[in-house]
Amino acid sequence: MNQIEQAREALRNAHRVFVITGAGVSAESGVPTFRGVGGVWKNIDPYKVATPEAFAEDPAFVWQWYDDRRQNLLNLKPNPAHVALAQLESQVDDFFLLTQNVDDLHEQAGSKSIAHIHGSIWEVRCTREETVQTDRRAPLPELPPRCVTCGALLRPNVVWFGETINLDAVNQAESFLLTGDIDAVIVVGTEALFPYIIHWAQSARSERGPLIEINIGETILSPYADIRLDGEAGKILPNLV
Ligand code: OAD
């Protein structure tokens, strides 16, 4: 059996599936990845737009950057990778998708059991009251936007460098993992640079549940993968479900 057949076989018999996605899953929709050729962090210093310090220094500049990304995202659609993952969710008994992406292309494709570990670009958070609201207007009418109830600055509800990841998402993932053995773990389109991604990928894998990595090229997770599928997620995932 080749690797793709092994992955198909694992998913055909799977009841509980855990998936982790990164920027690569949205790349074929036209969302730039962070690292690699044309990556977001190649064009702008993350410390100028994705830290609390940058926001404190120049909230309008930071917001302009997020507003541009929001406007770009408005016109983008889920690709076959998002659709295949939503289809997989509907085929198995128990499914959980942990994404590092701040777009909502998984939800647009129909994913339901999903948590955003790095927050959502479509949510705004009051810097005083910490209240979170969805706001899909792009462009926003005023930059930087302000809270309608208290007048304080709003910030994008995303995780910046130096901040804690979304605890609600952590709890959801942990409780899924604690509920029982996983029959297949899929990690797709991520460099897996953050230790918690490696940790979840490894701890989710069980004796009967292989770790399947789908990526263009190798990552630091690759040595731990039982099955490595090299190529574009939008071509490989529809082939598996
Ligand atoms: P990266 O940009 O670091 O990595 C994207 C990965 O996707 C790379 O390994 C590519 O090889 C792969 N890739 C690109 N196109 C693909 C495709 N069509 N099919 C399959 N794989 C493809 O993005 P992430 O690992 O998601 O965090 O980055 C993680 C976090 O770092 C982001 O959430 C963001 C960033 O800083 C924050 O902003 C907190």
Q: What is the pLDDT of residues 14-32, one digit of tens each?
A: 999 999 999 999 999 999 9
CA distances to 164, 170, 172 from 177, in Å: 21, 11, 9
82 counts as catalytic = no
pLDDT at 208: 74
Nearest CA to ligand 1 atom 15: 24
* Whether residue 180 has its Cβ less than 6 Å from ligand 1: no
pLDDT at 206: 76
Q: Alpha carbon 55 to chain centroid distance?
A: 23
pLDDT tens across 43-90, in order? 899 999 999 999 999 999 999 999 999 999 999 999 999 999 999 999
Q: DSSP letter at 124?
A: E
Reduced to 3 states (helix: H, G, I; strand: E, B; else coil), residue 159 is coil
pTM (2 decimals)? 0.97
pLDDT at 137: 97
Does the pLDDT of residue 132 top 90, yes or no?
A: yes
* Whether residue 22 has its Cβ less than 6 Å from ligand 1: yes
pLDDT at 167: 95
DSSP secondary structure string, 209-230? --EEEEESS--TTGGG-SEEEE
Phi, psi of 181 (to 5 degrees): -65, 150
Report the relative pairing of strands 94-99 and 114-116 from DSSP bridges.
Answer: parallel
Both tokens of 194, joined, read: 């953050």
Position in ligand 1 atom list of the atom nearest CA 217? 11
Reduced to 3 states (helix: H, G, I; strand: E, B; else coil), residue 37 is coil
CA distances to 82, 184, 206, 229 from 15, in Å: 20, 9, 13, 21
Does the pLDDT of residue 222 top 90, yes or no?
A: yes
Nearest CA to ligand 1 atom 9: 191
Does the pLDDT of residue 150 top 90, yes or no?
A: yes
At a CB cut-off of 8 Å and minimum separation 6, what does 16 contact? 92, 93, 94, 95, 179, 180, 181, 182, 183, 209
Q: pLDDT grade, residue 205 (50/70/90)?
A: confident
CA distances to 9, 90, 97, 198, 229 from 235, in Å: 18, 20, 19, 24, 11
Position in ligand 1 atom list of the atom nearest CA 160? 39
Ligand 1 centroid to Cα of residue 191, in Å, is 5
